[in-house]
Structure 1
Amino acid sequence: MMSKLIAAVSFAALALAVTSSVARAEEEKTIAGIVAGSKDHTVLLALVKEAGLVDTLSGKGEWTVFAPTDAAFKKIDEETLKKVKGDKELLKKILLSHAVKGTVLAADVVKLDGKDVETLSGAKFTVHVDGKTVKIGDAKVTATDLKASNGVVHVIDTVLLPK
């Protein structure tokens, strides 16, 4: 009887430890972790690595990232993409044009209809809300509120290019 009790308590402790670890891992998923775990953001992940911004998106702080999909990058002509990949400062500027300081959830974004938001690069994009469709600049928001330990990710269908 005592061995069954010890086994039951040990099993319960193990189950609790595993559950706590899984919950902690989900809570601790950073913006970089969300992007890295997405099959639709392989180009963005490669460019973030190339620009040296992985630590920024993994680190402390509160960020809102508008993450263009691989299909969004395919909309950019080859010459422009090649130019951006060859100029690390331009690449950083474009990537930072997809982030704002603070955690801005979808419910807050829709309140910004007609207003400009300033990104970390200093570029400004206007938010447009038409029913359930939300755009930032020319990019349509296709998924919202992917929460991370250091902010939130919203998926967009077009790369934001600063003017």
Structure 2
Amino acid sequence: MERPMKKFVMTSSLALLLSLPVFAANPMVGGEPMLPTKDIVDNAVNSKDHTTLVAAVKAAGLVDTLKSKGPFTVFAPTNEAFAALPAGTVDTLLKPENKSKLTSILTYHVISGSYDSAAIIAAIKKGGGKHSATTVAGGKLVATMEGKDLILTDEKGGKSKVTIADVYQSNGVIHVVDKVLLPK
């Protein structure tokens, strides 16, 4: 009789363990842990590599939107990506009179829904090597693969590589990119 009881206890424990939510370990971003229990904004403010993006999100008035339920997929340019823009561009965009243009650029980096790299790559394969996605700004981004690299091409032909994929958030997923994407 004792044997079946032990088996039942082990089986129940296993069932309990398997029923718990599983979070994939998020990669570190900007030298800091990205917690899947935090939202996009709360994680981004902890990344030393995204201080320009955070300043831009605040200047554009998008904090509340990116803290909302979502879900969102955000292609997050690094400080280096912003620094690669022509001299003075970021300072000009951060001025209050350029809020609409800044908002347009930032929302061009956001897609409604939560799409990890596996989903994007599956869409690329299904699309015969490319997948076009509509951004929150209403523009198009085209995702392709170059070798093992996930590449996004903007409407002006600029290319950005996903350097850190699948940073899960409570309201979506972030993919770190190495260039700022620009709408038409």
Coarse TM-score class (shorter-chain normalised) = 0.7 to 0.9
Percent identical: 41
For 1:66, the equivalent position in structure 2 comes to 75
For 2:59, the equivalent position in structure 1 comes to 50
Does residue 1:117 correspond to 2:133, yes or no? yes
1:39, 1:143 → 2: CA distance?
14
Q: CA deviation at 1:116?
A: 1.2
TM-score, normalisation: structure 2: 0.71
Any residues of structure 2 matched to 1:58-137 within 5 Å, and which?
Answer: 58-86=67-95, 87-113=98-124, 114-137=130-153
Structure 1 residues 148 and 77 mapped into 2: Cα distance closer, same or farther (>3 Å)?
A: same
Q: Which residue of the other structure, out of 151, 160, 163, is the alignment partner of 2:181?
A: 160
Q: What are the superposed Cα offsets for residues 32-68 of structure 1, whole Å, 9 maximum, x if unpaired? A: 1111110100000000011111111111120000000
TM-score, normalisation: structure 1: 0.80
Between 104-113 and 118-127, the greater mean CA deviation after superposition: 104-113
2:123, 2:90 → 1: CA distance?
30
RMSD: 1.3
What number of residue pairs does the alignment pair up?
A: 138
Q: Which has the higher helix share?
A: 1
Secondary structure in 2 matching 1:76: coil
For structure 2, list consecutive stretches of 5 or more residues without a partner in the other structure. Answer: 1-34, 125-129, 154-158
For structure 1, list consecutive stretches of 5 or more residues without a partner in the other structure. Answer: 1-25
2:88, 2:47 → 1: CA distance?
26
Between 90-99 and 52-61, the greater mean CA deviation after superposition: 52-61
1:28, 1:49 → 2: CA distance?
21
For 2:46, the equivalent position in structure 1 comes to 37
